[in-house]
Structure 1
């Protein structure tokens, strides 16, 4: 495997047959690198084709520009096969991109407004947790709103359980207990989520969206942006359901994420 240009007959392009990672890199050092590579390998194994070699991947962050950047890795099954039938001996293709990056610092400090989405995620345990290339549900959900004051949209599965945001994981504190949705049926298990679960007592739960309205604090997060505290939650029509004032409760978990990603702590 090596860096490549994507041809038109690539199965990742034709069928979403592949996986990807977006990694925060600071001066050539990747953050949460082992977790990203473990998920990438797990995804390739689950889809049934070889993952790139570790030494090949380990060389990539060092090619990033100075400062803060994003390393995007895409691994597809490659070309070949007949229709949906995959080739018996796949030759996976690795695509690499380095992009400059700056986090949305105002959202750390001031918090964000979010809304529920009407779209429901399909339930498929076989690919649950993976960052696979089939992201059409997320595209459709993100197109439900155009208001720049709304930072993210929250998604439920087809049984009505709250799962995630369009590109972030979800955390809340309710009755003093930290919780996050269980992701064994659908959704992306983020690397920042994994790191916070390893450090803090955070219960993985099945919950309906109404539970969020009972929370003392609500956050969205991923391995690029860290955690954003939520100050307002709307329904899918843009009507406010509940508001929060950012306080010490928000900052405690948020600063754990800041430290894990090398960002400054927040007062």
Structure 2
């Protein structure tokens, strides 16, 4: 449960769903997500909002997106989904048309009691790394400028920071400096950066802005700082973030997915 004066946010990422029944790395991503949703229903159904920061599917197949939608609809709180490098924007739009802006990108603004949540599309077709073109950066600057004095929380799939995992650093957000340039004029109001992609719980700061990433609900990436060209798959426990926000603090907990009860 949460204190009544706190905003409770759930941060999920990297579902990597395949069509129902199809295994990935020896796991069933659909069953992993089902366990995650069931865990939330037991322990965190009181959350105010859930954001899923991309890689909803592994191969961008429509059947997988339909399964993502079916499972996430079980959650009682508003759920907002983003895309990552494993997704396909066209297939995604056919199943989640409400998540797409007029310019065709999957970005949106959610105004909440805790402030403005800005969900930014970093997907670049044909690339494992992320990109922010000038169209998306202009959209972001406009949303920041119009938000007045409200606190702002930014969500991306790709991390705008290198974390020491060589293969993942090679495919992080390549326009990270341009993103920082857009954010820094508003730094007093930007409270936190949330991202996925790494399949690991990670936190820190960049240019004084705090950030956190979460485990995937599917497989994980090993804590391997030496392997340069592959991202070694790890079978550590999947998880998600449970975030408590009030006027003077943000606390990010990392929940482990327990077996279905």
Larger-gyration structure (1/2)? 1
TM-score (norm 1): 0.27
Q: More strand by proportion, 1 or 2?
A: 1
TM-score (norm 2): 0.27
Higher RCO (C-alpha under 8 Å, 6+ residues apart): 2
